[in-house]
């Protein structure tokens, strides 16, 4: 699995709508509105590196309101704790 963090600048009048549209893209697992230089951060999780082009360049960057993106590809995850907790929500043992 390849994970990438996409830093997104948007048209300020469309931040919520842009985030909703991005979150509906297959391969995008999460979208966060954030403070600072960027408006949104999306997390892309795809089976192989080449799939990032389909998700980010062909779909995400063409969502109305997206002005600019920068993508950071993750090499390695150091903490499984947060991921394990997130995927366990709603499942009682």
Instruction: Tell me what percent of the residues of the chain surpass a pLDDT of 90.
Output: 81
Confidence of residue 91 (pLDDT cuts 50, 70, 90): low
Mean pLDDT across the stretch 43-54?
Answer: 96
Comparing 77 with 43, the larger pLDDT belongs to: 43
Alpha-carbon distance of 4 to 77, in angstroms, equals 11
What is the structure's pLDDT at 88? 58
C-alpha 71, offset from chain centre: 10
CA 50 – CA 41 distance, rounded (Å): 20
Q: What global pTM score does this model have?
A: 0.83
Cα angle, residue 53 at apex, residues 50 and 56 outer, rounded to 5°:
135
The pLDDT tens digits for 25-39 are: 999 999 999 999 999
């Amino acid at each position: 699995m390849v994970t990438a963090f996409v830093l997104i600048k948007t048209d300020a009048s469309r931040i919520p709508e842009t985030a909703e549209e991005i979150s509906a893209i297959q391969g995008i697992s999460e979208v966060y509105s954030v403070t600072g230089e960027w408006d949104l951060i999306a997390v892309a999780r795809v089976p192989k590196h080449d799939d990032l082009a389909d998700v980010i360049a062909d779909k995400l960057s063409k969502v109305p309101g997206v002005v600019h993106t920068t993508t950071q590809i993750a090499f390695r995850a150091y903490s499984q704790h947060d991921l394990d907790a997130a995927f366990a929500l709603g499942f009682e043992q």
